[in-house]
Amino acid sequence: MSILKIARMGHPVLRRPAAPVADPTTADIARLVADMTETMIDAQGAGLAAPQVHVPLRVVIFHAPAHRLEKPSESVPLTVLINPEITPLSDETADDWEGCLSVPGLTGLVPRWERIRYTALTPDGAQIDREAEGFHARVVQHECDHLDGILYPQRMTDMGHLMFREELRHYMSDTESSEDE
């Protein structure tokens, strides 16, 4: 396994739609997932998409460890999604702070669907079909946006809420902090 270099906002790989994976069970995909996992943990991120490590394929990983959540009951184990598809389950959206390993140091208030259903394949060829809400729904939407060349600032409705995280922490200490995704 190796720690991979993370592309930052402005790199063309983050702006292009990623290609579907033909066969999720190959050794190449297993190696990519192992390297992405090591990279995400090293960077202390909650999620990572393959284009962020310069691989333009529809692969994302994420986790929601209990100790990093306001509501520990919403924790999700490390999950790998290959060729994921998202369907919103209602028109309801919620605003919350997000960060991104490709946009280091910044955080922004981003509206996302509150409840979603998502489907995907796993590296052993199984099908995932889940419903999610809250942080779980948010991180999946954030990661899947990377597969379509979209970074979270493009989803923001008020750029006055794009901030350096240090300043947000310093001046708005009652606001919850965000995770890098």
Active site residues: 143
Of the pair 117, 155, the CB lying nearest Ni ion is at 155
Place of tokens 């790989």: 13
Least distance between Ni ion and beta carbon 148 (Å): 12
Q: Which stretch binds Ni ion (CB under 5 A): 3-11, 77-85, 99-107, 131-139?
A: 99-107
Determine the size of the site formed for Ni ion (CB under 5 A).
Answer: 2
Residue 142 C-beta: closest distance to Ni ion, Å: 6
Q: Decide if residue 147 touches Ni ion (CB under 5 A).
A: no
181 is an interface residue for Ni ion by CB under 5 A: yes
Q: Smallest distance, Å, CB 125 to Ni ion?
A: 26
Among positions 40, 100, 106, 140, the unique one binding Ni ion when judged by CB under 5 A:
100
For Ni ion, give the closer residue by CB, 24 or 143.
Answer: 143
Dist CA 80 CA 173 (whole Å): 33
Rank residues 84 and 129 by Cβ distance to Ni ion and give the closer one: 84
Q: Which residues bind Ni ion (CB under 5 A)?
A: 100, 181
